[in-house]
Amino acid sequence: MLELQGIRKSMGGQEVLRGVNLRVGPAERVVVIGRSGCGKSVMLRLIMGLLQPEAGSVVFEGKKLTGLSEEEWNPYRRKIGMLFQGAALFDSLSVFANLAFPLREQGERSEEVLRQKVAEALRIVSLSGTEEKMPAELSGGMKKRAALARAIISRPEIMLYDEPTTGLDPIVADSINRLILHLGKMFGMASIVVTHDMVSARMVGDRISYLHEGKIYFEGTPDQVDHCQDPLVRDFVRGHAEGIGITG
């Protein structure tokens, strides 16, 4: 349903992505892991059309999106949800207005329906009762969850999660992982999850892709990744720093 074909992208004069190929099937959950700064967030922004690649293309439901104008992207963006690494809540709007925003943009006018959907979404991310708070009054983890609620409230066909569990306590992190699984099972929502958290990666991923030096270096099921003998992948999965020359 979503495919990246040979994506290349330079950021700040340095080629970050050097031919990324990735496929996500319907209701499939793909986890992308990789070292900090390797271009995972850039990749998600390319899928959303927030950045344009220098080469290669993004194909969504058989339609090539790369090359569309900013406004032509919009109908597709509404089918793709994105959780930003930094939450990116609108800080002039209350939590309620943030969550209601996508629904209102899609034409929902009834306050009652909005109230009910927002309450439901907040309950899912265990933030019930924070409707009237402003984003500045939330903790980092709460912001992230509110942003997650905003991203899923209009039930996109595919969700892009940029480090959904970073900065959350283990219990909430677990509930977010369950939520990602649940959304996949209940609504057939496909997802791409960028994470450093191997627990989360094993739990939610149908497939794990390791992004290294601008390419998908390794791809496999969580089991295959765990048993992979490649030193780079092994070190990442087990959290060893040997590969980069800092040993204790």
Partner 1 sequence: MGRVLHLAGKVGAVFTDSCRTAGAVFLLLGDTLRSMVQYRLRWDQIFEQMYFIGIRSQVVVLTTGAFTGAVFAAQVWFQFKRFGMESAIGPTVSIAMCRELGPVLCCLLLAGRVGAAMAAELSSMKITEQVDALRALGVYPTEYLIVPRFLALVISAPILTGLALVTGIGCGYFVAVKIFGVDGAYYWDNTIKFTDSKDVFIALIKSFIFAIIISAIACHKGMNCPPGTAGVGKTTTEAVVNASLCLLIVNFFLTVLLNALLYSN
Ligand X SMILES: Nc1ncnc2c1ncn2[C@@H]1O[C@H](COP(=O)(O)OP(=O)(O)OP(=O)(O)O)[C@@H](O)[C@H]1O
Distance, C-alpha 206 to centroid of its chain: 15
Give the separation between CA 63 and CA 49, rounded to whole angstroms. Answer: 13
Q: Could you say whether residue 16 binds ligand X (CB under 6 A)?
A: yes
Q: Could you say whether residue 241 binds ligand X (CB under 6 A)?
A: no
User: Which partner, ligand X, partner 1, Mg ion, none, binds residue 242 by CB below 5 to 8 Å per kind?
Assistant: none
Strand order in the sheet with 2-11: 14-24, 2-11, 55-60, 63-64
When the beta carbons of 164 and 222 are compared against partner 1, the nearer one is 164
Residues 6+ away with beta carbon under 8 Å from 58: 2, 3, 4, 5, 7, 46, 47, 49, 64, 65, 66
Site of tokens 């992948």: 233
Q: Could you say whether residue 53 binds ligand X (CB under 6 A)?
A: no
Q: How far is the CB of 42 from ligand X (least distance, A)?
A: 4
Pairing of strands 158-162, 80-83: parallel
Distance, C-alpha 194 to centroid of its chain: 6
Q: Could you say whether residue 190 binds partner 1 (CB under 8 A)?
A: no
User: Which partner, partner 1, ligand X, Mg ion, none, binds residue 236 by CB below 5 to 8 Å per kind?
Assistant: none
Q: Could you say whether residue 69 binds ligand X (CB under 6 A)?
A: no
Give the separation between CA 219 and CA 17, rounded to whole angstroms. Answer: 16
When the beta carbons of 157 and 197 are compared against ligand X, the nearer one is 197
Contact 139, 168 (CB under 8 A): no
- The interface region with ligand X, picked from 23-31, 35-43, 125-133, 227-235 by CB under 6 A, is 35-43
Q: Could you say whether residue 70 binds partner 1 (CB under 8 A)?
A: yes
- The interface region with partner 1, picked from 28-36, 45-53, 60-68, 197-205 by CB under 8 A, is 45-53
Chain residues in the site for partner 1 (CB under 8 A): 45, 48-50, 70-71, 73-75, 77-78, 80, 82, 84, 86, 88-91, 101-102, 105, 147
